[in-house]
Amino acid sequence: MALSSYTDLQTAVKDWSGRFDSTVANRVPDFIRLGEERLWQRVRSQWGVESSTLTIPAGQNWVALPDDWLAFKRIRSATEARMEYMSADVLEDLPYDGDPSKYSIEGGRLLYGQTPSVNLDLSIKYFKHPGLLETAGTTWLLDRAPSIYLYAALIEAAIFVKNDAKVAEYGSLLDKAIDNFQSADLAAQISGSRLHQRRR
């Protein structure tokens, strides 16, 4: 069957789990939601990259992260072509004038290595959370790799019914599906061009 929507996925999880009793069937939305949490900790793709600008107010060294932020791909400012991460504790111990090439992340905020005297714009690219499938109906990942959603939800169903063999089986299938998707995604990004390594 085609897997192109949240409804399709619910039906597939019921069919694949082989459990149609209400105890399991009524929890399929939970399995999908838990599966989403599992997969968005791992899946990173060019399809989920967003470009934006974060503005750090004058006299402040932090700015809130976007609500849909998963991870940064790149951060730069007018003076720093590429900024580097350091732990929040180390960042706090920088000298008074700080270091504009450094940043950290803590408590849903980007911490900047310096306190600017005027508003500072940071140009960012980040991996964006696509939103919950239950609300969105579909996502770019469901369109391109529905098996990832399916296996992630089936792992949660197997955990619920305490079937360790199925947890391992679907875990292995999920690993392969994610690896295959991300390998194909990388190949698509560099198709028609040689891969250049960034100089250190």
pLDDT, tens digit, 9 for 90 and up, residues 56-110: 999 999 999 999 999 999 999 988 888 999 999 999 898 877 899 999 999 999 9
* Same-domain pairing of 140 and 152: yes
Kindly report, residue by residue over 175-192, the tens digit of the pLDDT. 999 999 999 888 877 766
pTM: 0.78
* Same-domain pairing of 120 and 67: yes
Q: Give the CA count within 13 Å in the CB-facing half-sphere of 87.
A: 3
Q: Kindly report the CA angle at 37 between 45 and 17, in degrees rounded to 5?
A: 105
Q: Tell me whether residue 150 is in a domain.
A: yes
| Domain limits for position 61 | 47-128
Residue 28's pLDDT band, with cuts at 50, 70 and 90, is: very high
- Residue 153 to residues 26, 28, 192, Cα–Cα distance (Å): 13, 8, 36
Residue pair 91/136 in contact (Cβ under 8 Å)? The answer is no
- Among 86, 106, 128, residue at a domain's last position: 128
* Same-domain pairing of 85 and 55: yes
* Same-domain pairing of 106 and 60: yes
Q: What is the pLDDT of residue 25?
A: 85
Using alpha carbons, select from 196, 183, 188, 154 the residue that is nearest to residue 171: 154
* Same-domain pairing of 66 and 118: yes
